[in-house]
Every structure is written in structure tokens, then in C-alpha cells.
Amino acid sequence: MVRAANRAAEIGATALQIFCDNPTSWRRRETLPPELQPFRDRLAHHQIASLVIHAPYLVNLAGPDPSLYERSVGLLANELTVAAAYGATMVNVHIGSHRGEGTDAGISRLTAGLQQVFDLAGHDADGVVLVLENSSGSGFGLGSTVAELAAIDAALSKAGLPQDRTGFCLDTAHLWGAGYQISSEAGVNDLMDEFSAAVGIERLRLVHLNDSRSELGSRADRHEHLGAGHIGAAGLGRMLTHPALHAVTYVLETPGMEEGWDAVNLNRAREMAAGRPLAALPPEAFETRRAKSGAPPELGDAANGN
Ligand SMILES: [Zn+2]
């Protein structure tokens, strides 16, 4: 954890997204890790003010399986309370899958589940915003369209969940997989107009800035280095400079984070935001994933399984 904080500072990041425990396991630590205080000290020292905890991929509040639902409630409540202890600003969770039961049934379960999560977490989770991440639409994933995100938000509001405890995350690779033409400035402007009108821009708290190796509307979700995928620099650059997005936190979930490619991608984000052309990436940028085949799915890829 301390190394993550130092590495974020080394590359000039001002936001950090982490898993607080194993992202593919239901098991959670019983106690807070001993390196927590040094970690928080490093974040404060480096002025990394936005800390996001990514919830495990297993969480699905929208599906019909009662035992999976119960475990998801418990796990997510745990993530929220741990997040508060970490000083995190947000917990990010995939909205989940209705598993074929239909959008309305999925949204009702999700809403009831979130009520239980906040009841269970209580004041221990004060100050942490739970952000719901859009889906690429595979596997009955809920929240792949702005209309569905708006329906979810309306359901949360009707259920009396306080607006300051929940929000949304837009993952650009998921938007692309879901069919949003965000490869141009005009496409991003249209999306932001639609989101502002249907949901409200103040509900958007987080952007997962990723390029995509998947085709537009393919419902697939394979992340790529910024400007090296099908979305490209014009659209991703606009995601960084659109005036409606001035207050959101941006997080990269691009490939090869463990091999130093996060530094490269963060620089590319800065170049795109400044409207400068991007350099071509060397072949090694695309080799890390081939070498790693058989390893656990990279962040984002697992969204499909929910
Ligand atoms: Zn994401």
C-alpha cells in the first residue's frame, strides 16, 4: 500500500484507485492492515486527495440468487466501512447483472440491496460515496445506457437514499462497448448533454479513462493504452477537457500498470488534455498482455462476469 502511494506520487498522480483486499474473493481481512497509517501519511504527504476503493468483482446486488445477494450486501457494506477507515472518498462498484430477470427486476433488487448496504454500514461509512459504474452491456449487465443509469438514479431517489452517499462512474471503454460513439469531440459532447439532462452532471463523480481494444457496440470490454485503441485521442481528450467534467476524479485502468505503463498513460492523458499529438507506442506496450495470458483478468475485463 505504501509502495502504491509512493508510485502514484512518482508519476505525478493526484488520485489513486486500489483494491483494499483480494478483488476475486469473498474473504475479507478481519482487521485493518498495519500499513494503513503509513499509507495514509504518504497520501497526505504527496497531496493525493482522491482515494478510490474498487469493490470486488463478485458483488452483484441486481441478480436473483439470494445467497449471492446476501453476500454482496455484506461485502459491499464492509468495503464502505473499510473505505472510511482508509480515508477514501469513494467506493466504486460494478452495477451488476439482472441475470435475465429483466431491467426492472434488476433495478428493484439493486435499490433494496443498496438500502441494506447503507443500513448495515451505518455511520462507520460516513463521508464515503458509493459510485455505480456503467456496464458495457454484456451478460445482462445493468446500466449500459444513460437511460438505465437515469432509471437507477430515480429508483435510489424514490427509495430515499441520500444523494450525497451515491453517484456514478463512467468507464469510457464500457461506454464504447455499449455503443456510445465517444471517439470524437462531438460524440463526447452529445453523451455529456444526454447524461446532464437524464441523470444530472453533479451525479457523475468518477471517470475510468481507458481506451478500448473492442469494437464500438460489441458489448465487450478490453482496455487499451490511451490513444492506441478504437476510441482514440480525440474522444478521450475531450473526456478530459469537457467543462461539465471539471470536478470529477479520473482514474486510469489501462494495461501494464505493474510494468510502468501507467506513467506512460498518465503522460498521454496530459498530452491529450493539452491537445498535443500522441507519440506511437513501442511494440513492447502490447506484449505484456500476451506474456501474461492465463493470469487473472486485468481490471475491467472481469466486469463481464457479473
Ligand atoms: Zn472501470
The enclosing domain of 284 has a CATH number of: 3.20.20.150
Domain that includes residue 30, residue range: 2-305
Question: With the C-alpha atoms ordered 109, 112, 115, 119, is the resulting torsion angle positive or negative?
Answer: negative
Name the H helices within 178-275. Answer: 185-198, 232-241, 261-273
Centre of ligand 1 from the C-alpha of residue 277, in Å: 25
Centre of ligand 1 from the C-alpha of residue 51, in Å: 15
CB half-sphere exposure, 279, CA atoms < 13 A: 9
Give the C-alpha separation, 143 to 30, whole Å.
Answer: 32
Pairing of strands 223-224, 211-212: antiparallel
Q: How many domains does the chain have?
A: 1
Which DSSP letter does residue 206 get?
Answer: E
Give the C-alpha separation, 46 to 55, whole Å.
Answer: 24
pTM to 2 decimals?
0.94
pLDDT in tens, 111-169: 999 999 999 999 999 999 999 999 999 999 999 999 999 999 999 999 999 999 999 99
pLDDT value for 95: 97
Sequence-distant (≥ 6) Cβ neighbours of residue 14 within 8 angstroms: 47, 48, 49, 50
Centre of ligand 1 from the C-alpha of residue 16, in Å: 13
Give the C-alpha separation, 259 to 268, whole Å.
Answer: 16
Centre of ligand 1 from the C-alpha of residue 303, in Å: 8
Low-confidence ranges of the chain (pLDDT < 70): 288-306
- Asked if 177 contacts 229 with a C-beta cutoff of 8 angstroms, the reply is no
pLDDT in tens, 86-125: 999 999 999 999 999 999 999 999 999 999 999 999 999 9
pLDDT value for 288: 61
Q: What angle do CA 124, 128, 129 make, to 5 degrees?
A: 135
User: Looking only at Cα atoms, what is the longest distance across the chain?
Assistant: 51
- Asked if 268 contacts 278 with a C-beta cutoff of 8 angstroms, the reply is yes
Centre of ligand 1 from the C-alpha of residue 196, in Å: 20
- Asked if 153 contacts 114 with a C-beta cutoff of 8 angstroms, the reply is no
pLDDT value for 3: 94
Centre of ligand 1 from the C-alpha of residue 227, in Å: 17
